[in-house]
Chain A
Amino acid sequence: MDWIALSLSLKLAALTVLILLPVGIWVARWLAFGTFRGKGVVEAALALPLVLPPTVIGYYLLVGFGAASPIGDLWMRLFGRALVFSFEGLLLASVIVNLPFAIQPMQRAFEAIPRDVREAGAVSGLSPWQVLARIDLPLAWPGIVTGLVLTFAHTLGEFGVVLMVGGSIPGETRTVAIAIYDRVQAFDNAGAGAMSLLLLTLSLLALSITYMLSARVGRRHG
């Protein structure tokens, strides 16, 4: 078992979830309650990571974060190191790749709140922040948790994008999924097997939680 890879994976997943919690809620509410021109295009762009091969996403992120790119250049000037093949670059890639996993369940949950219930909050004297805290979040939390659990599980299992953007630097970018690949390459089937079993268990657990939560949402609005 590669404990360094495991702790790196858990750290990456936890930070991705932490960033996508506010970002996901904000974008999901905007998409659920807003009506604007080009909404479909925004939704499609956010869903791209679901359909594109990880190598394609990884390629664009590599180009986008590279030293020659504005983002990579700015990063280099601010922190004196490259964004690609670093943990920070990996985290940024992870956030982008996980946008649809976080946002879509949250958006569906917000959309399930009847419009007049939110309006009733406003005419009852609740400010927009109070509507968020006292109506939106209590009613949409199963969808929010689902989005975060999916993000966590998906980050643990991400392989292609990590390999493209991060490589396999121990302690910096070598996650469990990469470590498994390395173990198999090195004919260490026992090590690969132990880590695979761990990922399998974690993923099953995460998916069970999301299915139980969606059943809960279905009951409430059914």
Chain B
Amino acid sequence: MVEAALSISLSQPGPIPLDASIVAEAGVVMALVGPSGSGKTTILRAVAGLYRPRHGRVVVNGAVWLDTERGIDVPPHQRRVGMVFQSYALFPHLTALGNVMAALGHLPAAERRARALTLLGRVHLSGFEDRKPAALSGGQQQRVAVARALARDPDVLLLDEPFSAVDKVTRQRLYVELRDLTLSLSLPILFVTHDFDEAARVAGRMCLIDQGRVIQSGTPREVLARPVSARAAALVDLKNVFSARVVRRERGRIWLDWAGRSIEADAPPETMAAIAQGQALSWAIPATQVLISRTDVSVADETPNRFAATISDLVHLSESVSVKVTLDGPDRPELSMTLPAHYARRTGLVAGSAVTIALMPDGIHLMRDA
């Protein structure tokens, strides 16, 4: 079996609990996302050799960097990693050029300057070579940090919340630049962030980290839209998550009892196999999969999952309208949805309007309760 470009497995009970196995392919940006204190930065630091877990193994292109069982722990300066720190950690006494040249110790002294100039050109910093970090903007400092990380000719690139210290406009530009840059690199890239949108923009794969564990991994789209558990849904801030019980399961469709309401949902074969009659579970529906109409709910209609509701909140955004509705019934559950602005205008929806909502069976996502 061909070993992955980067494989990490770490475990320890404390002080920072870890129980994570991550495999990353060359040429793919892998985002490690999770709340503050979830251990994502610690995982990054363990790859760089800046943190030593109780038990762990880090293998890069077949080279063992860490194996606590065999007593192997290659010191950070002998691991070929490029790392961009959250605060960039530039050397304040060196110029931009000096910062990059400091990481070129593996090249003959005569070649370092030319190589550093090339790298600074690659991150669009030609002309700023002689500036010290204090004389550079946040975005420029970030680019120096990226150039310095690439200077090592690394086997792994580690990015620790590299966009957190720049303003929003700069960030949008840097996303594009980083994407272009990563497309040209054939090495595994780990990217730590707590921002899911950022992860979706920059990364091709995503690991959701919670208390040191990888609770889900996949493409950002999968992780964000189809969380495996209620906890994962809460972490990715998925709206419209509710509890229900399975009452019937039949040919790819599942009927649920949702606090006395009957709803039906499409379930892929693997979900069907994992779900039993009578089981309690969580379900969610994305804000885009909720339909709304002003027709009374009693009017005959083939559409399943129709419920009477009242608009409790309606906020006009630039191109869409964010709507919250409260369903009738003793539990008064609240659902969020997003509508095109023109639709809301044409139908004259306002806060307090009585409406009928329909939940698309193929939009309902079923997941474990825990």
Name which residue of chain B comes closest to A139, CB basis: B93
Interface: B57 (CB within 8 A):
no
CB distance from A16 to the nearest CB of B (A): 29
| Partner-contacting stretch, out of B77-85, B236-244, B346-354 | B77-85
Segment touching A, from B5-13, B101-109, B120-128: B101-109
- Mark A88-109 against chain B: 1 for CB-CB distance below 8 A, else 0: 0000000000000000000000
Residues of chain B within 8 A of A119, CB atoms compared: 48, 50, 76, 85, 89
List chain B residues, Cβ under 8 A from A134: 91, 102
**In the complex, what residues of B have CB within 8 A of residue A116's CB?**
85-87, 89
- Do the beta carbons of A124 and B148 come within 8 Å of each other? yes
Interface residues on B, range: 20 to 34
| A124 contacts across to B, CB distance below 8 A | 77, 102-103, 105, 148, 151-152
A202 within 8 A of B: no
Most buried by B among A125, A127, A134: A125
Known: A119-B50, A119-B85, A120-B83. A125 touches B103 (CB 8 A): yes
Indicate if the CB atoms of A139 and B92 lie closer than 8 Å: yes
Whether A125 lies near B152 (C-beta < 8 A) is: yes
Tell me the complex Cα distance, A117–B92, Å.
9
| A121 part of interface (Cβ distance < 8 Å) | yes
Q: How far is the CB of B317 from chain A (nearest CB, A)?
A: 38
Knowing A116-B85, A116-B87, the reply to whether A122 touches B77 (Cβ < 8 A) is yes
Contacts of B152 in A (CB 8 A): 123-125
Answer whether residue B90 sits at the interface, using C-beta atoms and an 8 A cutoff.
yes
- On chain A, the residues within 8 Å of B82 by CB distance are 123
CB distance from A51 to the nearest CB of B (A): 35
Contact residues in B for A130 (Cβ distance below 8 Å): 77, 105
Indicate whether A125 sits within 8 Å of B85 (C-beta atoms), given known contacts A119-B50, A119-B76, A135-B91: no
- The interface residues of chain B lying within 8 Å CB-to-CB of A138 are 93
Which residues of B, 59-99, contact A by the 8 Å Cβ criterion?
A: 75-79, 81-83, 85-87, 89-93
Structural contact, B50 and A117, CB atoms closer than 8 A: no
Give the bracket for the number of chain A residues in contact with chain B: 10 to 19
**Measured between alpha carbons, how far is A130 from B106 in the docked complex, in Å?**
13
A114 to chain B, nearest CB (A): 7
> With A116-B85, A134-B102 in contact, do A123 and B91 touch (Cβ < 8 Å)?
no
A126 / chain B contacts, CB cutoff of 8 Å: 77, 102, 105
Residues on A with C-beta less than 8 A from B148 are 120, 124
A residues less than 8 Å from B76 (CB atoms):
119, 122-123
- Picked from B77, B87, B92, B105, the residue with its CB within 8 Å of the CB of A123 is B77
B86 to chain A, nearest CB (A): 8
Number of A-B contacts (CB under 8 A): 65
Residue of B nearest to A115 (CB): B89
Q: Which residues of B contact A127 (CB under 8 A)?
A: 77
Question: Distance in Å from the Cβ of A35 to the closest Cβ of chain B?
Answer: 13
B77 touches A120 (CB 8 A): no
Q: Which of A123, A135, A139 sits near B50, CB closer than 8 Å?
A: A123
| Residue picked from A114, A117, A127, most chain B C-beta under 10 Å | A117
Residues of A within 8 A of B92 (CB): 117, 139, 220
- Highest count of chain B CB atoms <10 Å: which of A114, A116, A128: A116
Q: Smallest distance from the beta carbon of A123 to chain B beta carbons, Å?
A: 5
Taking CB atoms, residues of chain A closer than 8 Å to B48 are 119, 123
Contact between chains at A114 and B77 (CB < 8 Å): no
> Chain A nearest CB: distance from B7 CB in Å?
20
Q: Fill in one digit per residue for B178-215: 1 if any A CB lies within 8 Å of its CB, else 0.
A: 00000000000000000000000000000000000000
Chain B residues numbered 39-54 whose CB sits less than 8 Å from any CB in chain A = 48-50
Q: Are A114 and B89 in contact (CB under 8 A)?
A: yes
Interface residues of A in 20-47 (CB under 8 A from B): none
Q: Is B91 a contact of A117 with CB atoms below 8 Å?
A: yes
* A120 and chain B: residue at smallest CB distance: B89
Q: How far is the CB of B363 from chain A (nearest CB, A)?
A: 44
Whether B89 lies near A117 (C-beta < 8 A) is: yes
Contact A123 B93 (CB under 8 A): no
Measured CA separation A130–B102 after assembly (Å): 10
Which residues of chain A have C-beta atoms less than 8 A from B90's C-beta?
Answer: 117, 120
Q: How far is the CA of A154 from the CA of B87 in the complex (A)?
A: 40
State the CA gap A126–B78 with chains docked (Å). Answer: 9
Q: A123, B81: Cβ atoms under 8 Å? A: yes
Excluding A116-B87, A122-B50, A122-B75, 5 further A-B contacts by CB distance (< 8 Å) are A120-B90, A122-B76, A123-B76, A123-B83, A124-B152
13 contacts between A and B (CB under 8 A): A117-B90, A117-B91, A119-B85, A120-B90, A120-B148, A121-B91, A122-B75, A122-B76, A123-B83, A123-B152, A124-B148, A124-B151, A139-B93
Enumerate the 7 nearest inter-chain pairs by beta-carbon distance, A residue then B residue, closest first: A124-B103, A116-B89, A120-B89, A122-B76, A123-B83, A116-B85, A117-B89
